[in-house]
Amino acid sequence: MTVHIVEDDYGVRDALSELCRAVGRTVRVYPDGEAFASGANVEPEDTVLVDIGLPGEPGTEVVRRLFRLPLPPTVIVISGLPLADIHHAMRDFSDVIVMRKPLTSELLGLLA
């Protein structure tokens, strides 16, 4: 099981990858949606952490593409946006876990 982290902020991406490795997960990181689309090999048992505020292709498009897979992975959307903006951006997605930055220990429970 791999955790794919799609996050443009290097510090957040690095901290998340260290956290995931600390709980024994294999990690792949991507600075944007385009790098994820061209380099990820996602399996149904994987988890994908996606920042919705990505440069270029928005995180919502990454999520949309993941849900088109025959067997989508677990998707966790992360964002530092105000809650109203997150709800607006995610209005078309009902099966997505949304976590606000700064992330809490709740994330560990989802990754363990």
Segments forming the whole domain that contains residue 48: 2-111
Q: What is the DSSP letter of 82?
A: -
Q: What is the rounded average pLDDT of the residues 35-39?
A: 96
For residue 33, what is the domain's CATH number? 3.40.50.2300
Mean residue pLDDT of the chain comes to 91
pLDDT, position 95:
77
Q: What is the rounded average pLDDT of the residues 16-44?
A: 95
Share of the chain above pLDDT 90, in %: 70
* Neighbour count for residue 36 (Cβ, 10 Å): 25
Tally: H helices and E strands in the chain: 5, 5
Number of domains in the chain: 1
* Neighbour count for residue 75 (Cβ, 10 Å): 22
3-class DSSP state for residue 47? Answer: strand
